[in-house]
Structure formats: structure tokens, C-alpha cells
Structure 1
Amino acid sequence: MEVQFSNNTFSFNLQIDKLDIPPEAIYPAFFIGVFMYLFSVLSNGTMLALIVTQRSLHKPMFYIFFSLPLTDLVGITCFLPRLLVDIITQTNNIYYPTCVLQGFLIHLYGGSICLNMMAMSFDRYIAICKPLRYNSIMSPLIVSCIIALVWGLDTVLIVVLFALQAKLPRCKTFIANVYCSNNTLLKLACGGDSTVNNVYGLFITGFLQIGSVSVQLLSYVQILITCISRSQPDARIKAINTCLAQIITYFFYETVTAFTILSYRFENTASIAQKVCGMIMFTFLPVVNPIIYGMKTRDIRNAFFVVLKKHKVTST
């Protein structure tokens, strides 16, 4: 299928870059990828199911947290299955609307993590620094508004981003990465002024990164001050443990994101480095987040063992 853009023929059938995997490593890489995807789906799905079914997790903290494993499922699902198909078939073709959808979901995933981590740090700040007012502040209405704001703002920002790049005329058909993104879709353009796209893209990156870092830094500094000022050692340890999983997750996310952003900003960065950074971003966190939260969040761990015990009792 072909369409006409500014006297240039643009094909909806695109070629996407591929990983340089030696022939003998194709099947091992494929099966490792399948294992990672199945583990991520099972573990994140288990966390979602626990939050929905276990009354002990029906708290504002976990209503907000619910978005994180859901986001991880979106991120790894929009990226890894298509890459695995390319690895095993060696075809490396992608339909233009599918490419746009993948790019949209990938950016939605990245923005959602930043906004969700902001919301989660705010919740922990209220819980630890203002415990007597927690239930009144984090009411069902406020929690619903926070969740709606996170997803609504993220969706609006990404819709505008892709609406801007959709206006540019296109004639190229090669996606210069192993996945589609706003950056790679912009490189399909032939002519047209992409200044607004670049400025808006930088604005979104700056807004999400600076906003996320600022809110979390302020929240965790206040939490740290509160914990130090408390005389009970047990209370300090419990408060720190409730934040530790979020801090570890966000540290990993920011580290990988920084490398990914820098790899695109410097033209002399090797193509393989860009591919690896992107792959880590969309596969590493969805795999390790359930492990981190399962180990560091006592309520989730306890709810999981309660379900296991019930299952053993009913099976015997």
C-alpha cells in the first residue's frame, strides 16, 4: 500500500532495523526473550490480581501502585513480542500504523512511570510525615483524581507529540532502530519543519524528568528528616522499608533513561548502544519490578503467602 505525500511516494510497508545476532545465537536469544516475557506477564499479572482480590491491599497506596505493574505490562508487551518475531523469522517488516501504535505505547509507558512514581512518592510522604491526616487527605476521591491525572496527563502529552509528527510529509521507509518511537518516525520525513516537534519533545522530556525528580526528592528528603527525628528505631526502619522499593525502581529507571536519552543526543553513539539501551528500558524494569516490590513490600509479600496457603489447603 502506498500513499502520496508532497509528490513523494510513501509506502506503508516499512523496514525496521534488526539486531546483529549470530546465527548460532538466534534460538537461545529467542527462548531467553520468551522466558523474560512470560515471567514479566506472570509476575506483574500476579501483583495486579493480588491488589484486586486481597482485602489487605485495598488501601490508597496500592490503588495508586496498581498502575505500575499495569504500565510494565504495556511496556514489555508493545516491545518484546514483535522483536522476538523478527529475531526468529528474520523478516524485519512492520506496517506503518502498527509502528505508530508501538511508538505511542512506548512513549506512554515512559511517561507513565515518571508520573506514577511521583504519585507514589506523594502517597508515602503523606503516610509517613502526616500519618494522623492520611485517611482524610488520601480519600477515595483524591486517590481517584490522582490516578486520573496521571493517566490523563500522560495520554494528552503523548497524543500531542504524535499529532505533531503525523503532519510531516514522509517518503522514507526505514526505521533506524529495533523498535518504533517518535524519534525514528520523524526520520521518515522528507522536508517539512520539525522544529516544533523537537522543541515539544524536549519539553516533554524535561517536564517529566525534572518534575519527577523534584517531587520525589522533596518527598523523600522530608521522609528522611521525619524518620531521623523519630525516637523509635522500629518506626524508622518500617518507614524506610516502605520507600525502599520505590527508590530502587526509580534509580534503575533514571539510569537506563539517562543512557537512552544521551545515546540519541550524540550522533557518534554506536547504533548497537542505542538498541541495547532501548531494550533494557523496555524489558529490564518490567522483569525486576515485581521482584523488588515482592521482596521489599511486606503487605504484598504477606498477601502472596496467604493466597499460597489457601491454595494448599483447598488442594489437600
Structure 2
Amino acid sequence: MRQQPKEDGMIMYSNASAGEFLTLAPLGLSATHVYPAFVFGALTYFIIVFCNMLVLTTIAVSKKLHKPMFILLFNLPISDMLGATAFFPQLLLSIVTQNRVISYPACITQGFLIHFYGTGNLLILTAMAYDRYIAICCPLRYNTIMSQNNLIRIIIAIWFLNFSLMFTLFVLLVRFKVCRTNIVDLYCNNPSLVKLVCEDTRLNNYYGIVLVVLGGPLLILIYTYAQILHTCVMTNHTDARRKAIQTCGTHLVVFLILQINTAFTLIAHRIESASPFIRRALGVSILIFPPFLDPIIYGLKTAELKQSILLYLKRKACSTKL
């Protein structure tokens, strides 16, 4: 964007068109750290894609995993890989080239995909919490409530609601013309893009806060896990209680980490005194830790999935030898 001097000494910014370029926050890498950072980032991205593809493939080929819980879980690696792919390739390219410039359309696309991933994960984890709630609190009605038709409706609702919410969020954003070019984060997202606008963006801010912080997923999760906890306390079967806590404990931790990190990152954008380093670290952690840890956590903690993964790997190893 070009700056044009005004007669009174102030600076007037020309409106940035869709063909102009933005500058992401610097990575702060010295020349000696460029290639180690590239190798580490590429290795992390490879592990994320490999582990998530392993979970996807195992669920797809193992008939005993064709149950509501695992079919819902099937959607999580898809969302995780989408978020990682929206972030890592652009990051790796900028590490190698030491160029933090990104076009406005590419920035909008990256921001949309990253928010689509984050919201998608929250909705998928919420649906998985609902599935566990029905399985533990209403076991006799589980097959009726989580029937194949209802399961398909839930999955369609997840992706349709996710797309609708994110489409609205970015339609509210692209109606403005930006008057700045410096992105304050290491990647494009809605809060950093809103900061490029010099017009009244209160509607965007209110929509973003309500969408993430006060939205339905957290309320649904609190209700479902309160009911699960009540059922576990009331039941006299120690094995059932232990199995329920083991099944839901990890899921609850994964959800809360994602929800809390997202909430603190967005709140930090609205507090001028907040440390940019902490805000950027929290923002990047949302894109690294859930995609990296989700397949590992669910693969190790879910007995059926773990056994199926090991069996699938053994079959692949045997077929390779033959």
C-alpha cells in the first residue's frame, strides 16, 4: 500500500485492493536458525499428516470401528489436517525465502481455513461429547438416538453450520477496504485482519466474541459432562465408572485446551497491554498441538482404535514384505 502525504503533514493511506500485498509479523529467525526451523516445521507437518491419515485410514478400513463414536472421530483428522495445511506450507515457504509478504486474497483464504478448522474442531468435539452422554446416561436408547440417519444429520449439521458461521464472519470482513498492510500475527486470522480496517468494526468484534466465547459448544459440553459426572457418581458399578471417566477424561482435556487457547487468543487481541509474544504463541499453539496430539491421544487412549491401528500397521508391514 502506498502512503500519500497530505498538505497538513498527516499521512493518508490509499485503500488496499484485492491485488495488493500484506506483511505478516516477522519470525525473528537469525540466518543460522533458518534451516533448523524449516526442518523442524516440515517434520512437524509430516507427523501431523501421517498420524491423522493413519487414524482416518484405520477407521475407514476397520469394520468394527464403523460405530457412531468413531464415525464422528473420523471427522476430526480431516479438520486437523485442514488447519495444519492452511498454516504450515505458507510458514515453511516464508522461512526458506525469508519473505513475510502475502497477497490479500491468500490472506483471506488462510484466515477462513484456519477459523474453519478451529470452529470445526469445537463442533466435532461437541458432537462426540453428546455421543458419550447418550452412551453413558441413556444406554438403552443409544442405538435409537444415534442411528445411522441421525448420525448423518449430525455430521451434515456440523459442516454446514461451520461453513455458514465462517462465511458470515468473513463476509462481514471483506465488505471493508483495508487501510493498513501489517498483520500483527504470524498468520492471517480474523482479528488481525480486522485491525487493518479504519472503519467501524464493532459488529465484527461482537460477532466474533459471541461466536467463540459465548457460543453453544461450551454450553453443550458443560451440560453433557455434568450429566455424565452425575451418572458416574450415582452408579454402583466401579468398572462402568472407571470406563466412563477414562473415555471422557481425555476428550474433555482436548476440548478445554482448544476452547481456552482460542478464547485467550481472541481476548488478547482486544487488550492493548497484552504481550504480542504471548498472543502469537497461543495463536500458533492452536494450530500445532491439537492436530499433533489428537491422533496420538485418541489412538493411545481408545482401546479399540489402538488395537485396530496396530493390526492395520501389521497388515501393511506383512504386505510390504510379500
Please, what TM-score do these two structures have when normalized by structure 1? 0.92
Q: Secondary structure at the match of 1:121?
A: helix
Choose which of 141, 151, 155 in structure 2 pairs with 1:147: 155
2:10 paired residue number: none
Q: Tell me, in whole angstroms, the C-alpha distance in 1 between the residues paired with 2:81 and 2:203.
A: 31
Once the two structures are superposed, what CA deviation does each residue of 1:206-246 show, in whole Å capped at 9, x if it has no partner? Answer: 343xx222211221121122223322222222222221221
Counterpart of 1:223 in structure 2: which amino acid? I
8 A contact 2:116–2:162 mirrored in 1: yes
* Aligned length in residues: 310
Is 1:276 matched with 2:281? yes
The farther-off stretch of 137-146 and 272-281 is 272-281
Is 1:116 matched with 2:124? yes
Q: Equivalent pairs: percent with the same residue?
A: 38
Change (3 A) 1:58 1:175: same
1:267 paired residue number: 272
Choose which of 142, 148, 171 in structure 2 pairs with 1:134: 142
Q: Secondary structure at the match of 1:175?
A: coil
Counterpart of 2:299 in structure 1: which amino acid? G
Choose which of 177, 192, 207 in structure 2 pairs with 1:200: 207
Q: Tell me, in whole angstroms, the C-alpha distance in 2 between the residues paired with 1:189 and 1:259.
A: 22
The structural deviation recorded for 1:258 is 3.4
2:218 paired residue number: 213
- Structure 2 runs not aligned, ≥5 long: 3-12
Q: Secondary structure at the match of 1:94?
A: strand
1:63 paired residue number: 71
Is 1:88 matched with 2:96? yes
The farther-off stretch of 291-300 and 233-242 is 233-242
8 A contact 1:244–1:296 mirrored in 2: no
8 A contact 1:14–1:95 mirrored in 2: yes
- Structure 1 runs not aligned, ≥5 long: none
The structural deviation recorded for 1:71 is 0.9
The structural deviation recorded for 1:120 is 0.6
The structural deviation recorded for 1:313 is 4.1
The structural deviation recorded for 1:205 is 2.0
Q: Tell me, in whole angstroms, the C-alpha distance in 2 between the residues paired with 1:117 and 1:92.
A: 34
8 A contact 1:80–1:283 mirrored in 2: no
Q: Tell me, in whole angstroms, the C-alpha distance in 1 between the residues paired with 2:188 and 2:83.
A: 13
Is 1:104 matched with 2:99? no
Once the two structures are superposed, what CA deviation does each residue of 1:156-186 show, in whole Å capped at 9, x if it has no partner? Answer: 1110111111111223222222111112222
The farther-off stretch of 171-180 and 95-104 is 171-180
Q: Tell me, in whole angstroms, the C-alpha distance in 2 between the residues paired with 1:203 and 1:248.
A: 22
Q: Secondary structure at the match of 2:96?
A: helix
The structural deviation recorded for 1:51 is 1.2
The farther-off stretch of 245-254 and 139-148 is 245-254
1:21 paired residue number: 29
Is 1:238 matched with 2:243? yes
Q: Tell me, in whole angstroms, the C-alpha distance in 2 between the residues paired with 1:266 and 1:102.
A: 24
Q: Tell me, in whole angstroms, the C-alpha distance in 1 between the residues paired with 2:210 and 2:194.
A: 16
8 A contact 2:76–2:121 mirrored in 1: yes
8 A contact 2:79–2:120 mirrored in 1: yes
1:225 paired residue number: 230
Is 1:174 matched with 2:182? yes
Q: Secondary structure at the match of 2:265?
A: helix
8 A contact 2:80–2:291 mirrored in 1: yes
Q: Secondary structure at the match of 1:168?
A: coil
Moved over 6 A (4+): none
The structural deviation recorded for 1:312 is 4.3
Change (3 A) 1:13 1:51: same
